[in-house]
Amino acid sequence: MSEANGGAGAEDADDARRPSPLGRIVDLGAAAQACIPGLYAWAVTVAPVAWGRGAPLLAKGTALMGLASLAAALVLEHRRPDDAPRARAVAVWGLAATSALTWALEPSALSLLRIDAARGFAGMLGWAVFAFACAAPPVRRDEANDARVVEGPPLRPRTRLAQGDIVIISLGALIACTLQVVGWRSGPAERAVLVRLVALACGLATLGAATGVALARHARRVPPTRGERIRRVIPWVTLLSVLVVTRIAFLVFTGK
Amino acid sequence: MQLFDGIALAMVVAAGLAFGVGATALARAEDVKALYWLVVGIVAVQSAVQIVRPRGA
């Protein structure tokens, strides 16, 4: 019994020592911390310009060089922690210079007519955070103070998410995300807003249904009988069948 | 995973496909087609939820 408790305690201690995702970011160096907002700023303001309509190939190349400069800063800082200021300079000047080149190669993409307010604000915020992260000293874990922290027993979840649930919910999330890709180039602004709203609602409905299917697998304290299930679902399946048959009939009669 | 879970999951996927076709039709201003596929998606989602719902829920 005590051995079992000891094993569980050791496992708990291991869990507690395992760094959280936020802890891992804190453990990164200054350039690596700055790369995260840099990547965001690049994705919002540089990538749409480089991969927009009519953008030259050279603009795509300079945009990719911006990403490469962020990666180079990460590698440099990881290999030589003492060269952190140099790595930071590579990230700042590399990304800023290549972004400026990309914008210069496709200046029409930055006109007010082609940038909406939300994207402009998001881009401004991204560059501001990137500048702040580059200028501010890195947030580091204080090893001396860590030793004085008395760790309590780690919080344990009451249950773990079953593997099948993760697959089902991930499938729902994938479908919901795929629906957001549809209809970004639909004509007038009113139609575009309607498409976005409908796609968002459809994504939420799909995600909700997938979550419901996953959770229902564990909520069967009183499982319904096969007949009850069939009775319950028959109206909906009938309606679905009517819709499908109507569609087939429509296609047959119109000869499409 | 039971048979009914599989059927429900297939219906969720079918609903996603119907929603995708509906949203694409809406973007192309084919409103009747969009309405049809969106209704198919809603019915498929509702069927999926109903088929796995526990008794009394």
pTM: 0.51
Weakest-pLDDT range from A69-78, A137-146, A167-176, B48-57: A137-146
| Number of residues that this document lists for chain B | 57
Q: In whole angstroms, how large is the CA radius of gyration of chain B?
A: 13
Alpha helix stretches (DSSP H) within A80-221: 84-105, 117-135, 143-146, 163-179, 189-216
A254 token code pair: 């119109």
Q: How many CB atoms lie within 10 A of CB A220?
A: 14
**Separation between Cα atoms, residue A69 and residue A95, nearest integer Å:** 6
Distance from CA of A225 to the nearest CA of B (A): 8
CA-nearest residue to B3 within chain A is A226
Interval A71-92: pLDDT, tens: 898 888 878 777 777 888 888 8
A112 token code pair: 């007010």
Cross-chain residue pair A209–B49, CB shorter than 8 Å = yes
Q: Which distant-in-sequence residues (6+ apart) come within 8 Å of B53 by Cβ?
A: A216, A224, A232
The interface residues of chain B toward chain A in range 16-55, judged by CB-CB distance below 8 A, are 16, 19-20, 22-24, 26-29, 34, 36, 38-55
Interval A240-250: pLDDT, tens: 888 888 888 88
- Say whether A218 sits in a helix, a strand or coil: coil
Interval A107-127: pLDDT, tens: 777 665 566 777 778 888 889
Cross-chain residue pair A237–B47, CB shorter than 8 Å = yes
